[in-house]
Structure formats: C-alpha cells, structure tokens
Structure 1
Amino acid sequence: MRIVSYNIRKSVGLDWKRKPERILAVLEEMQPDIVVGQEVDKRLGSRQGTLPLGMLTSDLKYRFADVATRVKSHGWHGNAILFRPDVVVTEVERIELPSLEPRGAVSVFFETASGQKFHVVGVHLALHRIMRVKQALAILKYLKRCPRIPTIIAGDFNEWRKLGAASRIFAPTLDVITPGPSFHTSLPTAPLDRFVVTSDVQVTNTGVHRSELSNRASDHLPIFMDFDLPKAE
C-alpha cells in the first residue's frame, strides 16, 4: 500500500492562485491508497474545504474520513484523511492537542478486504518547539489506549532538523521516517513532513515526490511511503 502526506496550503500554489485541480493531478501521479492532508480547509469563517469533492470521488475514487465538525469542512483543524475503496473505515476520532493556536490530530482506523487492520493518525504540529513536544506527548498518551495494531502517524511536524524535539519523543518506541527535504518547494531544504510508524509496519520505500506539477501546486512537496501489513490472523 502507499500512503502520502501532503500540506496543500489550502490549494494555493506558488503563483498564489488557488487551483485545487493541481493538487488532484499530483495525487493522480502518485496513486496513493491513503492521503493524509494538512491545510485542506480555509483558515477563517466556515473553514470551507478547498478540494473539489466531485472530482475526488468520481475521477480519483477518494472519500474523506468523517472527521469534520463543520458542514463545509473536509477535515478538522485543517487535517483530513482520504482513502480509496480497497479499505474501509471502522472508527474515527479527533485528538485534542495542547496548543497556543488551533491544532488537533485526526485518527482513523482502517480494515482491508483481507481483514488486515491498521491505524492512521494525521497531524500538523505547532511552530513552537515546546508546544510540539507537548503535542507529541499527547499523541503518545492517546496511542497507549488504542488497540495494538500497525499504526502510522503522518503529517507536517514543522521540524527543520531530521530528528527534532517532537521526533525525539517518538523515537524511543516508534520508527521515525524522514523521507527528505519537502519545504520550501522552490528550494527544498527542510524535512518538515514525515512519518512515524510502529515496528509491525513493513516499510518498503519512502521519498519526496518532485514533478513539474508538484513543484508549483503548494509550498510543500508531498512525501510518500510504501508499506506492507502483517497477514490477518
């Protein structure tokens, strides 16, 4: 399976034009089964989602996990998780995170057609280092009460170092995967986006997706991870 994490900056590209069709075209290039998105909703007002639902569902066959609390939103605090029909959602939760600004994480439990269960948590951590550490600790606390199944945390960690303060919170018990520099798209130097996985997630490939389309669709490049799951018992 393939999972992608993508901060789409409310579908605004490097030309400062909101063109969500570019985001969809990037996803079509990558063909992920699961997409963890950040900044998918507008920041103010009704927090309206910025992606065209019709094209997502009819052309790319994606659905949004039901994490939104506002009618027009795709996600919660801008975090959304999309999935294709080869997996089903069994449970959805919103994780309150300590923050000086609106932040939260979204949690979705999946099951494949062959009965394999796995868990995806989408995050967009704070700009302030101390707050990122508190948020990472809150996520770990949440995971401790969850079922022990293959788990993937994905998102924008806002950490410029390969193993920043929040990542070091996860590192003793989980595997932190930093595919490479994903920000700023015009000159990628910062590995802001990453995955954190439990040891039962068999990672086969990771990377940062660069193409003519992704180079202008957002200020972040999408990252991807290919993985296998243990066989269902």
Structure 2
Amino acid sequence: MELTFASYNIHKAVGLDRRRDPDRILAILNETGADVIALQEADRRFGRRESVLPLAAIESHTPYRAVHLGMRPDSIGWHGNALLVRRTIEVTEACAVPLPTLEPRGAIRADLVVEGRRLRVVGMHLDLSGLRRRQQVRSILSHVTDCENPVPSVLMGDFNEWARHGGCFHEIPRDWQVLAPGRSFPSRRPVAQLDRIVVSDEWRAIATGVHHSALAARGSDHLPVWARLVLPKI
C-alpha cells in the first residue's frame, strides 16, 4: 500500500501578499496530490476559533474531507491543527492529544482504514520552547503507544525545531524514522526544516520533498512538505 502524506502550516490562509485567500490554499492542497494532509494554523486564533477554510469549500473544491473532532462547532480541528483525508479513506476514531503547553499549541490524532489496513496519524504544531517541545513529543508518543492496538503510525507537522538533528528529535524511538523533506520556512527563501514527518518502523519512505509552486511561494510563510510511504503486505 502506497500513500502520500503532507503537512502544511497555512498561516491562517494569509499569504505573503497579506491577503487571506482560502481558495488559494485549497488550490495548493490540490497541487500536492496527497492522500492525508496535516494542517497547522487552520483556525482563527480568537473568538469562536472558526476555520479559515470553509467546510463547504473543502468538500466542493478538493477531493478531501476534514476529520471531524467535534471540539468546537466552527472549527475543523483543535488549536489550529486539522487533518484532511481523501473521501475514500475511512476514519474510525479521532481526538485531540493533550499536550503540556503555555502557548496555544496542540495535536490531533486519527485512526484510519485504507485498503483494509489500519493506520494512525497525528498532526501537530509544537512549542517555540525547546524544553517544552521535548515534553510535547514525549506526550504524543505516549498517547500513540497507549492507544488500543499498535498500528503503523505517521506523525507530522510544524515541529518548530531549528536543529537538523537532536533537540526534540532525541525523544523519537530509534526504530522510528525522522524524515526531513527539505527547507520549508520561510517560503520566499527557505532556510529551515521546521516541518517534518516522523514514521514508525513499519513504513518505508520511497520519496520526500517540499512542494514548490507559484501559488505555494506566496500562499503562506511555510511551504508544504510531503512523503510518499509504502506499507508492506502483512
């Protein structure tokens, strides 16, 4: 089974031209061709925390649907984190992941079924503090491993980790793989690999990359990152 996973900090749909343009973000998501997408900064920060990507627009202009958490009526996620999956993918369970934090950060988890195989995905946006990031990674891994029935897992998002190695990645088990698709921030002239994808040992990565396009170059201060993964037959 081969799937493409992507992660994109959409900066509340505000591009480098300072315009909030949800349609532009949806077009960029379509460009990635991913099967599962983790979004960060997908909700407004204050008030009702409504999604910056209207559900009706996601359903009418993309092949995706938002994983429903039911946390807030106007939001598609939790603390700006959202997961989109192709409509052919079954979602069996979804929830917010409790994180130790002083900032409005968060993570969400969904269990999916694809071609009869069950897998687990976590989208996250971690803290600016290095110590807090390490605590958050430990909390996420504890949550994933404590779930009933261990399954192949993919963790992805904006880790806010400037170090290429070390930092919060010291918390990742040795049998997991930390993928660094490339420099994705800032989008105009990327210098940092803040956006990462981490996979459990069942997966084999066959390709990774940063999505570059004319739209992506101005749609957000981050570029989308992606990984094409293969899950061997049982």
In the superposition, the TM-score normalised over structure 2's length comes to 0.95
For the residues of structure 2 that align with 1:68 and 1:230, how far apart are their CA atoms?
33
Instruction: Give matches, 1:69-218, under 5 Å.
Output: 69-112=71-114, 114-146=115-147, 147-218=149-220
Distance 1:221 1:171 in 2: 27
Question: Shift in Å at residue 37 of structure 1?
Answer: 0.3
1:90-137 CA distances to partner (integer Å, 9 max, x unpaired)? Answer: 11121110011122210000001x201110001100001010011011
Distance 1:209 1:68 in 2: 30
Q: Note the residue ranges of structure 1 that are not aligned, 5 or more in a row.
A: none
Partner Cα distance (2:212, 2:61) in 1: 22
Q: What letter corresponds to residue 193 of structure 2 in structure 1?
A: P
Any unmatched runs of 5+ in structure 2?
none
Equivalent pair of 1:67/1:80 in contact (CA under 8 Å): no
* Identical amino acids, percent of aligned pairs: 42
Does the residue aligned with 2:44 lie in a helix, a strand or coil? coil
Query: What's the CA shift string for 1:192-223, capped at 9, x where partnerless?
Result: 00011001112111100111110000000000
Corresponding letter in the other structure for 1:223: V
Which stretch of structure 1 is more off in the superposition, 61-70 or 206-215? 61-70
- Runs ≥4 in structure 1, deviation > 4 angstroms? none
- In structure 2, what is the Cα distance between the partners aligned to 1:187 and 1:180? 12
For structure 1, which segment, 191-200 or 93-102, has the greater mean C-alpha deviation from structure 2 after superposition?
Answer: 93-102
1:49: Cα distance to partner?
0.2
* 1:19 counterpart residue number: 21
| Cα distance between partner residues in 2 of 1:181 and 1:171 | 24
Aligned residues: 231
Q: What's the offset of the Cα at 1:22?
A: 0.9
Whether the 8 Å contact between 2:58 and 2:64 is mirrored in structure 1 is yes
In 2: Cα distance, 1:116 partner to 1:208 partner: 27
Q: Deviations over 1:148-167 (max 9, x none)?
A: 21100000000112124111
SS at match of 2:214: coil
